[in-house]
Structure 1
Amino acid sequence: MRIIYLFTLLILSCYFVSINCSEFHYVETSKGKVLGKQTESNLVEYLGIRYAQPPTGAYRFQPPQDLETDSYPLQFDSVSGSQPGNDCPQPSQVDGKPYGDEDCLFLNVWTPAGVNNTSNLPVFFFIHGGGLFLGTGYDRRWGNPYRYASEHNIVAVTLNYRLGLLGFLALEALDHADQRGISGNYGFLDQLKALQWVQDNIKQFGGDPNQVTIGGQSAGGFSVLALTSSKLSEGLFQRGIAMSAAPGLFQTQKEASKDNLKAFVPNTACKGMAGNDLIKCLYQLDWEDFVTGLEECPDCGQPYWGFPKYPQVVKYPLAVVDGYFLENSFNKTFKNDLNQKVDLIISWLTEEIDLSPSKVILDYSKEQYQDLVTNYFDQFKKGLGSQVYNLYPFENYDNPQQGYDQISSEIAIGCQLISHVQSLAKNLEKHNKNVYMYISPQRPQYHYCSNQNYCARYAYHGFDQISSFNDSISIQLGDSDLQFGNNIRWFFADFIRNGYISDPAWMPYQYIQNITWLQYPEPELIPNPKIDKCNFWSQNGFDQWEYQL
């Protein structure tokens, strides 16, 4: 009745209120009608589409549940048409306070105007970043791929998925409350459910379910690697783009359960409980407690925004190897050819951590920089520090901060991604699939200030996404930034359509082991310039250090 009422209201509004009803579009999905609005001459957006039951009440800490037929509420007003769904619970980036709503499993679709169910356009399914505890599929700060629809004749999709402890809490007590006998990784199961929705419905929006590319940056890129590693995702996508994916999975579900029992539960009203009492308490806690519980944990996660910690202690990850969604770490999965056989782009930037470095050394002298590097890495092994300094000498950089950034970024992200690409290239070639890698040294024309103490000036984490989506509400982009981003978007669109990139600056890694040195104005296809350094870190055991998001 609600749907009939809303359609009647809209029709009457067309006659009696100043509304251009040609701007509104309707799509019949497997679960009901969806309302969209034409926002510009070549773009229609459908926002706030449910893809699963609200994960509330008895559905908290459960895999996402199927929708009932006609369960879509048409969120309509006379000004903006369809509305985005609730953000999933997370800490506010303004004041750190919890915000959002557990009823948050929504997705959004953008299509070129004029498409129909015979258009068969390629689909770009973009997963937002945010460390698996922040972000949303609609807010422009987290990447909004609508330009792929308006400029490249591609159907674009984004989603919200459960975050933080509500999305990833692994706990032995919860294992017994789940018919699978395990807990955790619910956010990844949400992503799978949304991809299944795409398979069932995207044709009605003009998309081709057999031409789906998943993409993401940071935790979104990590999600791409996780989905590529999971046997549960078979047939749900054909291509993947993983931008700056922190590549770490380093605990089993059982190990994570022990840490959660120590680090989270004692900070809640469930302290001291066990068994059914603990399960009941966790289901009754306010959702805000799960957000603050993660924020207040003194040793949660292993940051990669600086030199690696000594001793090498890693604990309290969100994503874990649970034996269900993920059976192995990325390293083992890719080396043993157990991943999905899809075309891939994997990328990183030369100074990833410059977004928010844990140590600012802009004014260090040569002696101070050398002492920092030498003394720090001598903690791991006597004499190691001087070897590190010889690989990253003061003279090689415009500023000692750049050296600090590159050391940290290559240990934490770059070298492990190179290792993944090498394994994937070796195996995907047998399946006639492509894997590309780009590394970008592109510096922003305008510095991004993540806090009052430091402004990023090098190729920082997220800069390629920000410039290519050209949709930031907080960062001013210069002409070279925009041109750099336009190039990325054209390269990605080519890949999304074809599974390969036709530009001569790109070549699948399996053929000549070259990477694309992605910069404006001229990207280059070159031998990987980081191999020697990555071999050094591997020989000294740092390749075993898989960082969390």
Structure 2
Amino acid sequence: MNTPLRFSRLPDTVQVSIASGRLAGQQESAIYVFRGIPYAAPPVGHLRWRPPQPVKSWEGVRPALSVGPAPMQVLPSASSLMYRLNHDDRQPLVMSEDCLYLNVWSPDLSPTARLPVLVWIHGGGNATGHGGQALFNGHNLAARGIVVVTLNMRLGALGFLSHPALAQEDDLGASGNYGLQDIAAALHWVQENIAVFGGDPSKVTLGGNSAGAASITHLMIAPVCRGLFRAAIAQSASGIFRPDGPMQSHDAAAKRGAERVATLGKTLTALRELPATAFLTLPPQPVSVDGRLLIEDTQRCFLDGRQAVIPLLAGWNADEGSLYSLSGQVNHQGLDDWARLEDCYRTLYDDHPAGFRRALTSDTRFIYPVWRRATTHAHTSNAPVWLYEFNHRLPIPDDVPPPSDGGQDYGAFHTAELPYIWDNLAARPWAWREDDRLLAKRLADGWTRFVSHCDPRGVGLQTWAAISESVNFAAGVFGINAQPGIAARQAAFGLLDYLHSVNN
């Protein structure tokens, strides 16, 4: 018989009761905050590489005053722009394999409030990030009348390893995508518990950026997630229509996973006895058809119109590839006629090295996949879809090293939109201007309207049209005028459409 956890009495806190026990949070400037809530059992020991299991109940009042440990990960270089914007929280990052915790912000704890809910999935390539990042403090969005939930999930090999031995012990013969299964478990937790925090379980929007946005695409076709969210916000990634080619089958992913851990241990027992740090340097394993959460190729489901029929808000940043083309991270395994594509971009971008490389990486890795998923979803589901382009330039600190590819600046780089969407400019002590603050208010208002009404239009965004036969590109442009413009991208996208049709 399991003995429940016991906690002492906590004075001067705000308390609520959820399915697994009583929680003590706190009130911060009219917003109620509960941090570090376990939504599944710790995935350690024999639960490493298993589907998330129910959380153990506790006795007494459990403190929910600080975020739980972040998933195990290797952060980007502290001097990099990616780190400076996303991870420079000016406090040590506590990490643990015991990481399945979430955080809740609410303006009203009354069960009758029935407020719309935003559940957020962080980015980071399924290798870095966590729900406690300062950029994702939900206070300013909750102050606009919604409940905000951020979460941790398993990352890297601990979250995505496929292996024949794991499939052999699984009742469905499945393995891999444990991080995605964690998100599904968190969504089930929201359905069961969010009313306690004033949220309406029938009004959940699932949002995310980068890898988080790609996860949303996959969850939109997962049978176990049907009905768990009514709308989606997917920023700067899609998970499909990428140059990598089709998703790996389970057998192919399991074979590759076994090869990657072969030097660490010969049996699952041996692998599960290793410290979590032993897996941090393994190369990332992509999302695959795992046999449990994902039972078929996600891209095929979207093309056939078998994804969830829900409103979608999606978009990209104008210079998504600037941080990646600098380091040569241009991926084109799935496109055989890469030389032809390079020639096209040289012509469209006047053969300028920085513009050519940035545009090629931006489009093939980020923008085209986001655009193609959005237009495919609109046309095969008839659900409303809003597309945006963010091209505002941030006041990057002077001590950030300049671009090394000949470009004048980093432009609107990957993840640059996040402090604006969350209205969290104060999370970074940068030289923010009045136009930054106005844009943050405008975008946070629009995103909150989408969570509340499945439509972002309103003050400042009245003319933002959804995708239609006559509007099939980004109708919402936030920042300066787009460069190099829609015409160049549409010309390149015609060739990308062709190359994808012959390679997939």
Please state which band the TM-score falls in when normalised by the shorter chain.
0.7 to 0.9
Post-superposition offset of 1:383: 6.1
2:357 paired with 1:404: yes
Confirm or deny: 8 A CA contact 1:450 1:456 kept in the other structure: no
The correspondence for 2:63, drawn from 71, 75, 90, is 75
Whether 2:378 is the aligned partner of 1:425: answer yes
Q: Is the 8 A contact 1:123 1:155 kept in 2?
A: yes
CA distance, structure 1, for counterparts of residue 205 and residue 178 of structure 2? 22
C-alpha distance in 1 between matches for 2:398 and 2:253: 35
Contact 2:117 2:201 in 1 (8 A): yes
Write the mapping of 1:367-406 to structure 2, written as runs, cut at 5 A: 380=337, 385-394=342-351, 400-406=353-359
| C-alpha contact (below 8 Å) 2:348/2:488 kept by paired residues | no
Q: Compute the displacement of 1:69 (Å).
A: 3.1
Could you say which residue in structure 1 is the equivalent of 2:101?
Answer: 106
SS in 1 for 2:358: helix
Alignment of 1:20-35 (within 5 A): 21=12, 24-35=13-24
Post-superposition offset of 1:543: 8.3
C-alpha distance 3-231 of structure 1, shift in aligned 2 (>3 A): closer
Q: Does the alignment pair 1:265 with 2:262?
A: yes
**Which position in structure 2 is the counterpart of 1:18?**
none
Q: Distance in 1 between matches of 2:389 and 2:169?
A: 44
**Is 1:252 aligned with 2:284?**
no
Q: 1: CA distance between counterparts of 2:122 and 2:59?
A: 25
- In structure 2, give the amino acid aligned to 1:407: L
Counterpart amino acid of 2:302?
F
Where 1:134 maps in the other structure, the secondary structure is coil
Aligned 8 A contact 1:330 1:420 in 2: no
CA distance in 2, matches of 1:453, 1:391: 22
| Residues 100-128 of structure 1 deviation map (CA, whole Å, 9 limit, x = unaligned) | 2111111100011x431110110010111
Q: For residue 411 of structure 2, what is the aligned residue in structure 1?
A: 458
Matches within 5 A, 1:434-445: 434-445=384-395
Deviations 1:330-369 (A, max 9, x none): 3211111111111111111121021343359xxxxxxxxx
| Correspondences of 1:14-413 after superposition (within 5 Å) | 21=12, 24-40=13-29, 42-70=30-58, 74-75=62-63, 82-93=65-76, 100-112=95-107, 114-141=108-135, 143-150=136-143, 152-248=144-240, 250-266=247-263, 268=264, 270=265, 273=266, 278-292=267-281, 294=282, 300=283, 317-359=285-327, 380=337, 385-394=342-351, 400-413=353-366
The alignment partner of 2:116 has SS state of: strand
The correspondence for 2:468, drawn from 502, 507, 510, is 510
**With structure 2 as the length reference, what TM-score do the two structures score?**
0.85
Q: Which amino acid aligns with 2:183?
A: Q
CA shift, 1:28, in A, is: 0.9
Go from structure 1 to structure 2 and tell me whether the alpha carbon gap of 1:331 and 1:71 turns closer, same or farther (over 3 Å shift): farther
Deviations 1:282-313 (A, max 9, x none): 11111111113x1xxxxx46xxxxxxxxxxxx
| Aligned equivalents of 1:391, 1:521: Cα separation in 2 | 20
Structure 1 or 2: more helix by fraction: 1
For residues 501 and 359 of structure 2, the distance between their equivalents in structure 1, rounded to whole angstroms, comes to 15
Question: 1:229-280 CA deviation, whole Å, 9 max, x = no partner?
Answer: 21210111001000001524631221122222223322x2x1xx3xxxx121
TM-score for the superposition, normalised by structure 1: 0.78
Q: Measure the CA separation in 2 of the matches of 1:355 and 1:536.
A: 24
SS for the counterpart of 2:448 is helix
Compared with structure 1, are the counterparts of its residues 459 and 218 closer, same or farther at alpha carbon in structure 2 (3 Å cutoff)?
same
Q: Which residue of 2 aligns with 1:372?
A: none
Alignment gaps of 5+ in structure 2: 84-91, 241-245, 329-334
CA deviation vs aligned residue, 1:116-162 (integer Å, no higher than 9, x gap): 11101100101111110111101215x33331102x11100011111
* Partner deviation per Cα, 1:146-187 (whole Å, 9 max, x = no partner): 31102x111000111111111111011111122221111001
Q: How much does 1:387 deviate?
A: 3.4
Q: Indicate how the Cα distance of structure 1 residues 460 and 422 shifts in structure 2: closer, same or farther if over 3 A, else same.
A: same
What residue in structure 1 maps to residue 8 of structure 2?
6
Cα separation, 1, equivalents of 2:502 and 2:147: 38
Structure 1 CA distance for aligned equivalents of residues 256 and 45 of structure 2: 25
For 1:409 and 1:544, locate their aligned partners in 2 and report how far apart those are by CA, in whole Å. Answer: 20
* SS of aligned partner of 1:86: coil
Who is 1:496 aligned against?
451
Paired residues of 2:115 and 2:147 also in contact (CA < 8 A):
yes
Counterpart of 2:331?
none
Pairwise CA RMSD: 3.0
Query: Aligned pair in 2 of structure 1 residues 521, 486: CA closer, same or farther (>3 Å)?
Result: farther
How many residue pairs get matched?
A: 468
Q: CA deviation at 1:466?
A: 2.4
Q: In 2, Cα distance between the equivalents of 1:237 and 1:341? A: 11
Q: Which amino acid aligns with 1:325?
A: L
Corresponding residue number in structure 2 for 1:370: none
Indicate the SS of the match to 1:74.
Answer: strand
* Other-structure match for 1:538: 497
Q: Distance in 1 between matches of 2:401 and 2:59?
A: 43
Identity of aligned residues (%): 26
Q: Which amino acid aligns with 1:340?
A: A
Structure 1 residues 409 and 481, CA gap change in structure 2 (3 angstroms): same
Match of 1:6, SS state, is coil
Using a 3 Å threshold, how does the CA distance of structure 1 residues 384 and 416 change in structure 2: closer, same or farther? closer
Aligned CA distance change for structure 1 residues 171 and 359 (closer, same or farther; 3 Å)? closer
The CA deviation string for residues 173-222 of structure 1, in whole angstroms up to 9 with x for no partner, is: 11112222111100111101111010001001000001000101111111
Change in Cα spacing, 1:158 to 1:38, as seen in structure 2 (3 Å) is: same
Please give the per-residue CA displacement for 1:360-419, whole angstroms capped at 9, x wherever unaligned.
9xxxxxxxxxxxxxxxxx99467665433222214xxxx742332112111112112222
CA distance in 2, matches of 1:132, 1:5: 33
**Distance (whole Å) between structure 2 residues aligned to residue 94 and residue 71 of structure 1:** 42
Aligned in 2, Cα 1:67/1:156: closer, same or farther, shift over 3 Å? Answer: same
Letter in structure 2 aligned against 1:413: F
Q: Cα distance, 1:528 vs. partner? A: 7.7
Q: 2:89 — aligned with what?
A: none
Measure, in 2, the Cα distance between the counterparts of 1:71 and 1:506.
Answer: 50
Structure with bigger gyration radius: 1
> C-alpha displacement at 1:465, in angstroms?
1.2
